[in-house]
Chain A
Amino acid sequence: MAAVLRAFFGYLFLVMIVRIVGRRPGKQMTPFEFVLIFFIGGLALTAIVGDEVSFTNALCQIITMGLAHYGIAWARSKSQRFGRLVDGTPLILLENQEWRANTLQHMRIQDDDVIASARESGIKALEGIDRAVLERNGEISTSPRQSGS
């Protein structure tokens, strides 16, 4: 019982912490963020598993996490409001050759993060970006400026 509750609240707490700490997983993840994710995971494991190292405990805790994850995914698909709470919304970082300074500051993103993504799309310089968007999964998508615009 206690182990299942620990797994459930541990999962919710981790979802909240990762949501607050920032949206830069996936392609934008730097070694420094890898440390954060693995360290949080390791610390959570100690408290959630405790000294209950049985197979039954592992099975029940994994199922609990699966159910909690399913519950969040289901609620997200049913309620747009909840979805925004869990995932946030995409955010424009650069548009019409102007930075969204407030967004960059709050999301702790720098111009070299944007140009790194732009290079993947074949854009060579910041002047070549029409719009850069921080997606919900943490990736930065860029669209090239049309010539003459």
Chain B
Amino acid sequence: MATKPFTRPVENSVAKVNDEVAVGEDLEFQRKWWRFENAAWIAFTLIIVLDLSGLFGRGPLAKAQRHAADGTMDVKYERIERTASPSIMTIQFGPSAIKDGKVQLYIGNSLIKLLGTQRVIPAPQETVVGEGGLTYSFPASKPPASVDLALQPLGPGIFDFTIGVVGAQRVHAKVVVVP
């Protein structure tokens, strides 16, 4: 014997128009939805304007610069980074940073691990591990002289980093990495 299907009676659950055609229109709800849609479009426009300005990285607001108080270095970096997106941090050395034909640059571990330093340009002559970071040595003549760090943050968060010429004042700063 065939199994009996489960059934329930048909009810007039769909609103009718002029008592004829079941349409189910709900203009009151729709008007509220249109108001929500208008607010959403404004929010979308705002998000794009903020993005173009660099609030989510990659724009004028994201660019930052720090100087060591003793004039040994300037650091140009992005204070707002994006996860897994490459960026360049440029370190410009002052005349007092160059000693005995070389520059020694200390980089804290957070810059290497959390902010994902991928490459150092130019390649350092020597790398020393210690003091919670790495110290690179570069042969140098006269300023202007600069080193670039290619960064690619691993994940979102707010990270402090420390960088400085050995024996000089260090620069501390924060970077916000958005998802």
Contacts and interface: CB of A to CB of B under 8 A. Distances in A.
Interface of A: 20, 50-51, 84-85, 88-92, 95, 103, 106, 131, 133, 143
Contacts of A50: 84
Contacts of A92: 17, 23, 25
Interface stretch (B4-12, B26-34, B54-62, B103-111): B26-34
A90 B37 contact: no
- Interface of A, secondary structure class, is mixed
B17 A95 contact: yes
A91 B41 CA distance: 21
B24 interface: yes
B33 A131 contact: no
B129 interface: no
Interface string B45-79: 00000000000000000000000000000000000
A51 B30 CA distance: 41
Contacts of B30: 88-89, 91, 103, 106
Given A20-B37, A51-B84, A89 B25 contact: yes
Contact of A89 (B17, B29, B40): B29
A37 B164 CA distance: 49
A133 B41 CA distance: 25
Contact of A106 (B24, B26, B29, B34): B34
Given A88-B30, A103-B30, 6 more contacts: A50-B84, A51-B84, A89-B24, A91-B25, A92-B23, A133-B25
Contacts of B24: 89-90
B2 interface: no
Nearest to B14: A90
6 contacts: A20-B41, A84-B26, A85-B33, A88-B30, A89-B26, A133-B25
Contact of B40 (A20, A51, A85, A88): A20
Contacts of A91: 25, 27, 30
